[in-house]
A and B are shown apart, each in its own frame.
Chain A
Amino acid sequence: MDYARFVRLRSALWDGFEARLAAAEKDPRRIAYGDLEDIALSYRQVLHDHALAASRFPGTGAAHRLRGLALQGTHWLRWDRGDRLPGPGAFFARTFPLAFRAHLPHLVAAVTLFATALLFGASLAIVQPGAGTAILGPEAVEGLRQGHLWTESLVSAVPPVVTSSGIATNNMSVALAGWAGGAALGLGSLYVILLNGFLLGAVLATTLHYGLAGALLEFVSAHGPLEITLILVTSAGGLALGQALVAAEDLPRRVVWQRAGRDALVLLVGCLPWFVVLGIVEAVVSPAPTVPRLLKAGLGLGLEASFLVLAWNPRLPGGR
């Protein structure tokens, strides 16, 4: 068959396919079953015409047009259903707990690294008190000397609605950085874990030096445990990404990495909503002098327990 004959014989089919596809893309709900079958049949014919044109008439307008139509049809007809996220109910009842369990070794590693960095930060601030000034700033340290925590300004400067928004978005940014940093060989996640541990240790030791550690622990008791847990869980997802990239497995690295990415995404999506709750707690409850110390601690423990129970979901059978 010569080129001109090929075009004359088949162009009506291509035009029809293009028109049907355009209509389907515009409003997929109006497509009847019969139309869908027509599109699928035409797609197959276009694909075969594309193969013929690509081998017999390469570089021609028909070959270009058919490649475009074949790609457009493939994109519309073939959806990657394998990585669909389930609805909220199924996600928090099954998908998230399964991912959480699967990432336990990474979470243990993250907790160990965090604790090590915390001890290091605390030791450094005890041995070298100047480190606390460098981290907190001279104004905050001056406030500590006078017996005031810098956290008191959280309620005096701006109202809780602004503080909670700022805190929630900042914490989510940190969690996202810890997760995404895993894609860089896990280095970003390591940085977030170690930095947070180091800073917390140094700040605790500095407040201990000025006799205000109890006040700081009271301030963080409502939101701190869960906040640290969430950052460690999302960073554990990042560590899993890094491990999939670095450590060899039987499967190709590309496959392992993409699978790790999908699993780690579940951790991230499952943790993000909790930051909104934490933002409100940190802005409203934590700095409030009227809320009793025990109530703050109880709230902190309650939030932590709620998250862990939801994340583990004891009603789910063991294993993955």
Chain B
Amino acid sequence: MIVPLQTILGLSAVLFGIGAFGFLARRNIILMFVSAEIMLNAVNLSLVGFSRHLEDPRGQVLALFVIAVAAAEAAVGLGLVIALNRNKPGLGVGDITELRW
């Protein structure tokens, strides 16, 4: 193990915190999605770190599933963004004030 597991977990915690901040603070809805991707990536890093520490491939398989779900989330989320933008231009979360289309 080239670095202790705790270093990897600390890095993962910091990246997750940055992603959470971006998700809560950004106005632009696409950048909110991207911040969620940063959070997913942080979790992947800790899964890979655990997998390395325990010499067990299951952590990496789980990270693979996380990537598959992230792809699905990106497709649906960006479809929603395009549909919302067609009705009312503007990507701020504050622009979406109506519950009906």
Q: Do A and B bind each other?
A: no
